[in-house]
Structure 1
Amino acid sequence: MTAYAIGLLHPQPPLHEDVFVYMERIQATMDPFGGRFITHGKTPEVHEGTFDGAVVILEFPDMDRARGWYDSPAYQEIIPMRADHIPSVIMLVDGVGADHDSAALGAALRAAQRG
């Protein structure tokens, strides 16, 4: 099942030179794990709550490859280039299949909650 790496970034302009190097090197760290950008540094249109940063979403074929990428020596080496200069929240999350049914999930959760 597809998995995603999501970054909520709070850039502090101007960007540090390290961030440019990070951007130049990240794709090569993703390639061995089948990763690709879904969105990269886009400012979201916020409808609820507040968020003043940018969003990055990476897609991987599955959670094992998403974890493999994040934990890889190649990616671990470049993390400080971003993390030292851009406050961020980084997370990995499983996607849902094409047959996902929100109504069925809601009903199952309701039933489970009732015991």
Structure 2
Amino acid sequence: MPGYAIAQLYDVDLNAEIVEYLERIDSTLAPFGGKFIVHGGAQQVIEGPASAVAIVIEFPDYQAVQDWHQSAAYQAILPLRTENCSSIAVLAQDCGKDHVATDVLKEAAS
């Protein structure tokens, strides 16, 4: 099942460091099979900070997204982003094609 890196970025200072981050991130994704699913384009914030931008990066599996996040290449550029915006970032596993909302209740009970 795919794994995902999901972020909400807000108060982004679009400066030279953010530009460098954007120029370098694709090369950190490639070895782990990562690809942007949501990044830029039309977005409508309906809750939360008005300036938030959603980003979703898909990986072949949850282990790959964890390995990417911990990789030396990504860790080297991460401060370029975190020091120039506020964010919430999550690594998540795909829930599967047959998932229904109440499946989380079963997981909580176990």
Q: TM-score range by the shorter chain?
A: 0.7 to 0.9
Q: Which residue of 2 aligns with 1:84?
A: 83
How big is the shift at 1:43? 6.0
**C-alpha distance in 2 between matches for 1:99 and 1:12:** 37
How big is the shift at 1:109? 6.4
Q: Which runs of 5+ in 2 are unaligned?
A: none
Distance verdict in 2 for CA 1:24–1:96, change over 3 Å: same
8 A contact 1:33–1:68 mirrored in 2: yes
Aligned-partner SS, 2:29: helix
Residues 42-96 of structure 1: CA distance to partner in whole angstroms, max 9, x if unpaired?
A: 563234x323211110001111000000000000000011111111111101112
8 A contact 1:7–1:88 mirrored in 2: yes
Q: Which residue of 2 aligns with 1:9?
A: 9
8 A contact 1:43–1:55 mirrored in 2: no
Give the total of aligned pairs. Answer: 109
Residues 4-32 of structure 1: CA distance to partner in whole angstroms, max 9, x if unpaired?
A: 1011101345x110100100100100000
Q: Which residue of 2 aligns with 1:70?
A: 69
**C-alpha distance in 1 between matches for 2:85 and 2:104:** 37
Q: Which has the larger radius of gyration?
A: 1
**C-alpha distance in 1 between matches for 2:9 and 2:104:** 31
Q: Which runs of 5+ in 1 are unaligned?
A: none
Distance verdict in 2 for CA 1:109–1:3, change over 3 Å: closer
Q: Which runs of at least 4 in structure 1 moved beyond 3 Å after TM superposition?
A: 41-44, 106-110
8 A contact 1:11–1:54 mirrored in 2: no
Aligned AA (2:79): P
Q: Which residue of 1 aligns with 2:22?
A: 23
Aligned AA (1:71): Q
